Structure 1
Amino acid sequence: MNLQLTQGRLLTLLQLSSPALPIGAYSYSEGIETLATQGTIATGSDLFHWLSQELNSGSIRLEAAILRWSYLAASQPDFEALARWNQWLSALRETAEMRSQSWQMGRSLLRLFADLEPELTEQLPGFARQGDCNFAIAYSLVAQAWQIPLEEAAIAFLHSWAANLISAAVRAVPLGQTEGQRLLQQLTAPIQTAHAEIAAMTEADLMACNWGVALASMQHEALYSRLFRS
């Protein structure tokens, strides 16, 4: 399927990847609040290093890779492959909190999609309508249903991930709004590099180093005060 990014599809992609989309992404920090409290992330440079390393070797790469393959499976459609990748992503999570976050965001996105496009919900696989659909899978299903080209949908997914975590750091570290926008601009090249590498991945390349995020996630619930959900 060779889709073109028309103006209409571009606007739809901007809606899908917007931080204002009501799926709850703003309420999670993915360990950044813990790291800010501990002093590991205290400056914009610290945050840039952390997010760059995540793009280079973290689990966001696996999510983006499976998003791509799920998009292609949805276009066939191959519900068996979609279910397999959803189970794989659920098993990937090192903590219950991270798995719950992915399920909650996926569930919220598909609920919103059903409200916006009730006639298209019958195209969704059964597991997606039952509530335990990971966000990357839900994103791929919605992007494919809305006929957004894969390459643009995939890089927007990475950009949205970075924008949400920078927004969290602006509040948790704290950083200024201008510093946050400067960091997002500086992440343009790392996002493009990661996007290109992920596009070339095969199943044999599915590996990540994510222990720092996992430890920060596990410690988050024990913080004295919290701005974000565990």
Structure 2
Amino acid sequence: MILGLLQLSSPTLPLGAYSYSEGLETLVERGAIADDDSLFYWLLQELQIGAVRMEAAVMVRAFRGFKKRDFSGLSTWNKWLSAAKETSELRQQSWQMGNSLWGLLLELESVSEAANSDSPLKVALTTIGKPCNYAIAFGVGAANWNLDEKMALLGYLQSWTSHAIGAGVKLIPLGQTVGQKLLFKSNKTIAEVAEEILLLKDDDLASCSWGLSLASMAHEVQYTRLFRS
């Protein structure tokens, strides 16, 4: 079980996550984030009230929906999350990573002795269709691999944090050791936020990330860029 979690949340998973900064590049360019302290503050705000918190909550719903074989519910949450994206850049990122993860999950299932044309994973993909958001694909993949729900949530949040820190290390720039210290310092907040997310009702799903949204929109027309968007 732990091996599956490590693989699913690994930064080396070929989904293209490394090529996105989610507006962080714009914030660094404008001087809003200029050192490890300001980067850490941004990380905490995003985890506590930002879009990643809401997306993680939808991931949990995808996990539970797949366990119940509620494929129509999965499709509904996928559409809901697409509509909740505040910029086309963030939406396209989620779709690209989600579609890539779907393809990878199917490739990995093809090497399983239990693989067949009527597998729940393939039925879910057919029902949801494309584009598929990353949080949906992650939740389905975690449930399909029989991972623990809370551990999958922690892996999702830690993976996002790790990618965000990686972008900050390149952009500010910071040393790799500083990046690892930031990730270690984030663990407490990740654990606390995970506990909160597990208790959220559907009507509680919301985020406050208008600053990130403005940065994301500005990044598309930024003069020089290291990241896609």
- So what's the TM-score if we normalise by structure 1? 0.93
Over aligned residues, Cα RMSD in angstroms? 1.1
Where does residue 46 of structure 1 map in the other structure? 38
Amino acid paired to 1:74: F
Could you say what secondary structure the match of 1:117 adopts? helix
Where does residue 122 of structure 1 map in the other structure? 122
The structural deviation recorded for 1:123 is 3.8
Where does residue 6 of structure 1 map in the other structure? none
The structural deviation recorded for 1:204 is 2.0
Query: Matched residues, percent identical?
Result: 47
Distance 2:107 2:72 in 1: 25
Where does residue 192 of structure 1 map in the other structure? 191
Where does residue 3 of structure 1 map in the other structure? none
Distance 2:130 2:11 in 1: 22
Distance 1:101 1:147 in 2: 26
Where does residue 163 of structure 1 map in the other structure? 162
The structural deviation recorded for 1:124 is 2.3
After superposition, give the CA deviation of every residue in 1:159-193 in whole Å (9 maximum; x if it has no partner).
00000000011111111111100000000111011
Please state if 1:226 is matched with 2:218. Answer: no
Distance 2:87 2:16 in 1: 19
After superposition, give the CA deviation of every residue in 1:104-150 in whole Å (9 maximum; x if it has no partner).
0000001111111122442424244x321100000011111111111
Amino acid paired to 1:122: K
The structural deviation recorded for 1:30 is 0.6
Distance 1:66 1:150 in 2: 12
Amino acid paired to 2:37: S
- So what's the TM-score if we normalise by structure 2? 0.94
Distance 2:39 2:104 in 1: 31
Where does residue 32 of structure 1 map in the other structure? 24
The structural deviation recorded for 1:91 is 0.3
Q: Which runs of 5 or more structure 1 residues have no equivalent in the other structure?
A: 1-8
Moved over 6 A (4+): none
Distance 1:99 1:204 in 2: 22
Could you say what secondary structure the match of 1:148 adopts? coil
Equivalent residue in structure 1 for 2:7, among 8, 15, 26: 15
Amino acid paired to 1:159: Q
Q: Is the 8 A contact 1:56 1:194 kept in 2?
A: yes
Distance 1:35 1:125 in 2: 36
Distance 1:207 1:113 in 2: 29
Distance 1:185 1:105 in 2: 25
Where does residue 216 of structure 2 map in the other structure? 217
Distance 2:142 2:191 in 1: 19
Distance 2:148 2:209 in 1: 29
Distance 1:100 1:33 in 2: 17
How does 1:174-193 map onto structure 2 within 5 Å? 174-193=173-192
| Count of aligned positions | 221
Could you say what secondary structure the match of 1:187 adopts? helix
Distance 1:218 1:122 in 2: 35
Equivalent residue in structure 2 for 1:56, among 40, 44, 48: 48
Where does residue 140 of structure 2 map in the other structure? 141
Q: Is the 8 A contact 1:74 1:82 kept in 2?
A: yes
Distance 2:127 2:69 in 1: 14
Q: Is the 8 A contact 1:127 1:133 kept in 2?
A: no
Please state if 1:173 is matched with 2:165. Answer: no
Amino acid paired to 2:146: Q
Distance 2:126 2:161 in 1: 30
Q: After the TM superposition, which of the residue ranges 219-228 and 116-125 deviates more from structure 2?
A: 116-125
